[in-house]
Structure 1
Amino acid sequence: MEKIRIKQAEKLIRQACTKQKRTMMKKPEAGVINVRNFEDTIKELIKAEDYIYESLPTHRLSKEEASGFCQHLLKARAKIDKILSDFKVLEIEDLKDKIRKLSQDVLIITTKSDIRRSLSKRGIEAPHIIVTGAPLSVEDMKKINPKIPEKTLESIKKKIEHTKDDIKRKIENMGIKKVIVLAEPNPTSKLIGKKAEELYNAKVILYKDPKDIPDDELIKILT
């Protein structure tokens, strides 16, 4: 339970730090109070207030308690930011839209479907992502598994050719200017990256857990 709450808090912190860009403006403008957001803010602050009384007299929180306390504050902060943006006090830029725009001429090669799903949720459109679990050459496949049967190798060879044809078609038809390999740092990914550098002048990013890469890091990779 403690680990779950800590992970939830860490996720909220990452979202708060990278999902939106905030710019202060000099004066608020006329607007309408979003009462629902205001009420939700108060509810979260009341929940956070409980930790003040429960931690008397020192107000010291354990790691699990700190995670719960911070979750309520971050949720309240998100609601407050929305209210302030309604009155133009905060100008909020949705990084999902920024990522979508930056990836319009990019093709990302990755190795797992969950990475593709994560990238899609961030704003990268599905046609700009290719998933392959195999290297981009038969020779590299043999390096990974020298004892692979010839019959199996023939099947994999067809998949490799299909993947390469798909990459070529997308580069030619979608105005792709940059190819990026984004995957975990394992032997297969390294071989895919090396071959993609050779074939497509690809940029290779081997990240410990690509599906959890922060939005600001993803933006740096795309630019």
Structure 2
Amino acid sequence: MDFTSLSLAYPWEQLPYALFAIILAFTIHEFAHAYVAYKFGDPTAYQQGRVTLNPVAHLDLFGFILIILAGIGWAKPVPVNRYYFKNPRLAGVLVSLAGPLSNLLLAFLCFPLLLLADQFGLGYKGIIELLFMIIKINIVLFIFNLIPLPPLDGYRIIEDLVSNRTRAKMSQYEQYGIFIFLLIFLIPPLNKLLLGPLFQYLVPAIYRALDTFWSLFL
């Protein structure tokens, strides 16, 4: 079988870098959710072994394979029991924000390494390609997870910011929201129309902001 004929979301020459970057990004994202929930008093994720940086605890095999093949996938969702929180709304928002912000933080911390690798001419060793992929994927995940559609973190944040009455109404239509989510991401024309501009402008904008900031020091 000619494996090069398979349609991948990443070119074959970039696949090793993409695999490492995705595993790292998913692990950091889910660990952040679990860690913040644990710090706010919810032991659920901790008891299930999710407060760890071991990728095995967080990766969903099917979701991981799908993101390589189709560009969309998922990790194992972190279980959260809001009844342990003293302030469920505040804790809920912070737990939901922790995942996307951890991805942005990882991109932020990797950027000076990218600039240094470029200055020292380490591109031929693949270091620049790897760091660039880590930064790009983490920026994309930061934006992607803040989209206000279930089951993404952006939707969970809105749930905790609105009134109980609005929250109850949202829960009635949540199942349809997931269907809309799948339609948008699995139908190329909808994906390009609704999400294309979002990633086309925001990802480069965040990348340029990081470049501008770190270039002041390096």
Normalising by structure 1, report the TM-score.
0.28
Higher strand share: 1
Higher helix share: 2
Larger Rg: 1
Normalising by structure 2, report the TM-score.
0.29
